[in-house]
């Protein structure tokens, strides 16, 4: 248990020595601060921290009641014990009524023993309560440091945390910079040394780092490790400095007091725990910065590669059009007069194959160009109504296959927030797929409806009762040239859903599907940002 700190006002040296030795015989640990005048007493109250005041009842120029009033002014809750050489019941009653905790005769010093035990128990209760509160503060600081991502965040947390944990009047955060101490940040009642650098050998933070241990300094003016000229202009009278990381310290954390104060073991342990946690937080910041840099480099490389791929895709698709037009055009000429009469049936069949393949290749090129365009265009989002767009797409599909009987379920309005061009591609591909994969049903059903996800995201869905697909293969659904059905079942390039996914991703949204073979499919699109949906 820490020693009790007691301010003793007594002008008789023999009485003071007797009282101290009596208490020592009871094996009560006490740090006595003995003063023998009103001036020394007032100065001690103003600059010291004590667990109690023991006061002689009568000194020249200052009696017990006056001393009690001065003590209460400086420290309202401090225990106060009056010692008297005379048995004066009236005086004792006056002191007790005024707020003294006890009135003890010097001939009956044994009564000091329960008073000392009371002070010890009070000090222990306060210590335990303080440690409990400090531990809660430390846990909160550790949680904050665990999420810190920059040195500025770490320093802001530590500088205030150090003051709170130690009850100090100032705290500083020091980083080792080669052979210098950089006072990077501070939190104090007045400026100290923020932003300045000192040689390791010339400051107490350097001493703590070089010696890999804490420095506890109750009085800066008597400790040879302190450069007095640097401290004289400041408020600092006492301090404690702990290294950040014991092995190969990378900095130090200091707490300062404006009045003489010897840091307790509890304060020292808390500050060192903060320093150890700070070490981990600094390492996390370094690793996080390295990770962010790697992510930036990788992102830049991927963006560059994607741009080159998009340019290559566009160039190839664009340059393929000319030779494809030649193949398709000249094959057509061979089937028209005067060349058509020169062809035998097998040649006509082969030309038909060439013409069909050229058309399919043309569709693939158009889809690749659309895919490239989606990747290059920057979305210009605004609130748009998908319902008229859907009517237009489905009307065009119905006109191309008037013999089909398809029940269409469309809302009167379907407002969403997005880019009109990209969403037109999404809607056209999804509705075209629904139309295609319901083509083998006598009476089909296609629906477009608004959709709200469980997380609250807004968008829409397209549902059909067509061929569907096996969800076990759905992970490849949105990849280019991946098909859930063979070309002989349903014609197509396998690029449409890749366009859908890329267009939705360009919005920062997401798209997914649910399906069952023979029972149709449902595609869900969720878009971020504003929504006009009810």
Query: What pLDDT digit, counting tens, does each position of 328-361 carry?
Result: 788 888 878 887 777 788 887 888 878 777 777 7
**β pairing state of 443-452 and 238-244:** unpaired
Inform me whether the pLDDT recorded for 305 exceeds 80: no
CA 475 to chain centroid: 33
Whether 391 maps to a domain, the answer reads yes
Q: Which of 210-219, 391-400, 420-429, 524-533 has the highest mean pLDDT?
A: 210-219
- Worst-scoring range by mean pLDDT, 164-178, 397-411, 481-495? 481-495
Residue percentage of the chain with pLDDT more than 70: 91
The vertex-197 CA angle with 196 and 203, nearest 5°, equals: 110
Inform me whether the pLDDT recorded for 531 exceeds 50: no
The total of structural domains in the chain comes to 4
Between 480 and 274, whose confidence is greater? 274
For residues 141 and 37, state if they share a domain.
Answer: no
- This prediction's pTM: 0.48
CATH of the domain at 80: 3.40.50.2300
pLDDT tens digit sequence for 203-256:
999 999 999 999 999 999 999 999 998 899 999 999 999 999 988 999 999 999
Residue 425 has a pLDDT of 87
DSSP state, 3? P
For residues 405 and 451, state if they share a domain.
Answer: yes
CATH of the domain at 274: 3.30.450.40
485 and 359 in contact (C-beta within 8 Å)?
no
Distance in angstroms (rounded) separating the CA atoms of residues 92 and 100: 9
171 and 260 in contact (C-beta within 8 Å)?
no
Average pLDDT, the chain: 86
Task: Name the band, by pLDDT with cuts 50, 70 and 90, for residue 493.
Answer: low
Inform me whether the pLDDT recorded for 182 exceeds 50: yes
Q: What are the helix (H) ranges across 103-174? A: 112-146, 151-166
pLDDT tens digit sequence for 81-129:
999 988 888 888 999 999 999 999 999 999 898 888 888 888 777 776 7
User: What Rg do the C-alpha atoms of the chain give, in angstroms?
Assistant: 43
Distance in angstroms (rounded) separating the CA atoms of residues 533 and 166: 55
- Worst-scoring range by mean pLDDT, 150-154, 174-178, 313-317? 313-317
One DSSP character per residue, 209-242 reads HHHTS-EEES-TTS-TTS-HHHHTTSS-SEEEEE
Inform me whether the pLDDT recorded for 530 exceeds 70: no
Task: Name the band, by pLDDT with cuts 50, 70 and 90, for residue 275.
Answer: very high
For residues 444 and 427, state if they share a domain.
Answer: yes
Residue 188 has a pLDDT of 92
**β pairing state of 80-84 and 58-59:** unpaired
**54-71 burial by CB neighbour count: b if 16+ within 10 A, else e?**
bbbbbbeebbbbebbebb
Among the listed residues 283, 280, 234, 229, the one whose alpha carbon sits nearest the alpha carbon of residue 254: 234
Distance in angstroms (rounded) separating the CA atoms of residues 182 and 197: 5
Distance in angstroms (rounded) separating the CA atoms of residues 22 and 16: 10
78 and 69 in contact (C-beta within 8 Å)?
no
One DSSP character per residue, 368-424 reads HHHHHHHHHSPP--EEEEHHHHHHHHHHHHHHH-TT-EEEEE--S--EEEE-HHHHH
Whether 36 maps to a domain, the answer reads yes
Inform me whether the pLDDT recorded for 526 exceeds 80: yes
For residues 401 and 435, state if they share a domain.
Answer: yes
Domain hosting 49: range is 4-124
Residue 303 has a pLDDT of 78
For residues 256 and 339, state if they share a domain.
Answer: no
For residues 215 and 273, state if they share a domain.
Answer: yes
Between 136 and 530, whose confidence is greater? 136
For residues 97 and 147, state if they share a domain.
Answer: no
Distance in angstroms (rounded) separating the CA atoms of residues 95 and 313: 97
Distance in angstroms (rounded) separating the CA atoms of residues 395 and 402: 10
Q: What does each C-alpha distance from 380 to 18, 417, 418 come to in angstroms?
A: 90, 10, 7
Residue 484 has a pLDDT of 64
pLDDT tens digit sequence for 503-517:
898 888 999 999 888
Dihedral sign, CA of 358, 360, 365, 366? positive
For residues 270 and 401, state if they share a domain.
Answer: no
Task: Name the band, by pLDDT with cuts 50, 70 and 90, for residue 143.
Answer: very high
Distance in angstroms (rounded) separating the CA atoms of residues 521 and 465: 7
Whether 59 maps to a domain, the answer reads yes
Task: Name the band, by pLDDT with cuts 50, 70 and 90, for residue 534.
Answer: very low
Whether 297 maps to a domain, the answer reads no
In the predicted model, what is the mean pLDDT of residues 60-81? 91
For residues 141 and 280, state if they share a domain.
Answer: yes
Partner residues linked to 35 by β-bridges: 9
Residue 532 has a pLDDT of 41
For residues 359 and 462, state if they share a domain.
Answer: no
Whether 365 maps to a domain, the answer reads yes
For residues 404 and 424, state if they share a domain.
Answer: yes
For residues 84 and 149, state if they share a domain.
Answer: no
Between 447 and 137, whose confidence is greater? 447
């Amino acid at each position: 248990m820490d020693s009790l700190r007691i301010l003793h006002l007594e002008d008789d040296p023999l009485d003071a020595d007797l009282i101290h030795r009596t208490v020592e015989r009871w094996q009560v640990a006490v740090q006595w601060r003995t003063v023998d005048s009103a001036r020394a007493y007032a100065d001690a109250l103003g600059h010291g921290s004590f667990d109690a005041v023991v006061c002689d009842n009568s000194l020249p120029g200052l009696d017990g009641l006056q001393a009690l009033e001065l003590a209460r002014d400086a420290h309202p809750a401090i225990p106060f014990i009056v010692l008297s050489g005379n048995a004066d019941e009236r005086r004792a009653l006056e002191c007790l009524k005024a707020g003294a905790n006890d009135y003890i005769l010097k001939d009956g010093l044994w009564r000091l023993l329960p008073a000392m035990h009371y002070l010890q128990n009070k000090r222990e209760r306060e210590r335990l309560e303080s440690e409990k509160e400090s531990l809660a503060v430390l846990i909160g600081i550790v949680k904050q440091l665990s999420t810190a991502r920059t040195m500025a965040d770490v320093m802001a947390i530590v500088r205030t945390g150090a003051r709170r944990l130690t009850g100090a009047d100032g705290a500083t955060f020091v980083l080792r910079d080669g052979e210098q101490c950089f006072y990077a940040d501070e939190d104090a009642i007045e400026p100290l040394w923020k932003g300045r650098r000192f040689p390791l050998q010339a400051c107490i933070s350097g001493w703590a780092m070089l010696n890999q241990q804490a420095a506890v300094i109750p009085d800066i003016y008597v400790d040879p490790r302190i450069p007095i000229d640097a401290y004289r202009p400041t408020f600092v009278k006492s301090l404690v400095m702990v290294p950040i990381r014991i092995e190969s310290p990378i900095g130090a954390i200091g707490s300062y007091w404006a009045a003489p104060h010897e840091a307790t073991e509890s304060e020292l342990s808390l500050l060192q725990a903060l320093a150890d946690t700070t070490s981990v937080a600094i390492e996390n910041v370094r690793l996080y910065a390295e990770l962010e840099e790697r992510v930036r480099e990788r992102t830049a490389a991927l963006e560059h590669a994607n741009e080159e791929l998009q340019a290559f895709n566009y160039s190839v698709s664009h340059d393929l059009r000319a030779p494809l037009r030649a193949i398709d055009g000249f094959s057509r000429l061979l089937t028209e007069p005067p060349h058509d009469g020169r062809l035998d049936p097998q040649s006509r069949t082969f030309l038909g194959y060439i013409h069909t393949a050229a058309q399919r290749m043309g569709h693939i090129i158009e889809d690749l160009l659309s895919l490239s365009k989606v990747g290059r265009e920057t979305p210009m989002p605004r609130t748009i109504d998908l319902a008229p767009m859907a009517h237009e797409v489905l009307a065009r599909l119905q006109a191309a296959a008037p013999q089909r009987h398809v029940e269409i379920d469309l809302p009167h309005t379907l407002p969403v927030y997005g880019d009109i061009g990209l969403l037109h591609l999404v809607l056209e591909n999804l509705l075209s797929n629904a139309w295609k994969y319901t083509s083998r049903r006598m009476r089909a059903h296609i629906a477009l409806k608004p959709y709200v996800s469980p997380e609250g995201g807004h968008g829409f869905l397209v549902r059909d009762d067509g061929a569907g697909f096996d969800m076990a293969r759905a992970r490849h659904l949105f990849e280019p040239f991946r098909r859930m059905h063979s070309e002989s079942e349903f014609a197509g390039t396998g690029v449409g859903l890749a366009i859908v996914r890329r267009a939705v991703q360009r919005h920062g949204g997401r798209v997914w599907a649910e399906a069952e073979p023979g029972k149709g499919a449902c595609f869900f699109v969720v878009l971020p940002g504003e929504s006009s949906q009810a």
